[in-house]
Amino acid sequence: MEEDKHDWIGIVNNPTKINADFYGLDHSLKIPVPPPNPDNKYIESLCDGMLKHGDNLAFVELKVWASDGKWIGVSTKQILNSVKLFAENHSFVGYNRVEGRICNKLKPALHKNCMHSQEKFHEAAVLYGFKGELVVKQEIDI
């Protein structure tokens, strides 16, 4: 399995084999826009999933985009939609760290400034009362 890493969109490095759970969101949840909703539209796109290990929670978006930097903004919006939905239905109390993770196999280590997206995530952290940051990197170390 290790030899197939070049095919993976996101890579979770877990050398100490910590128990971790991944919960799919984007294609698993269909949440209708509140009424009135005559077109039967659904809430905006969510991130691909949540990765929970211990008292850490990561909202993960997986991308395979090589072109312009718009994928960072799109991914950030999906993560923020998911953070908002989580905050409206659960609590961040008990989580030591909450991260937004954008993994792009075509851009494994981003060398571009994504400060605007990081600021938006920080604003959500302040609004919903958690500590964390937005990281744009293919590998997730736990």
Tens place of pLDDT for every residue, the chain, 142 residues? Answer: 555 666 777 888 899 999 999 999 876 666 666 677 677 666 678 999 999 999 999 999 998 876 666 888 999 999 999 999 999 989 999 999 999 999 988 776 765 678 899 999 999 999 999 999 999 998 899 9
Q: Can you list the positions of beta strands (E) in 54-114?
A: 56-63, 97-104
Q: Name the pTM for this structure.
A: 0.85
Q: What is the pLDDT of residue 70?
A: 83
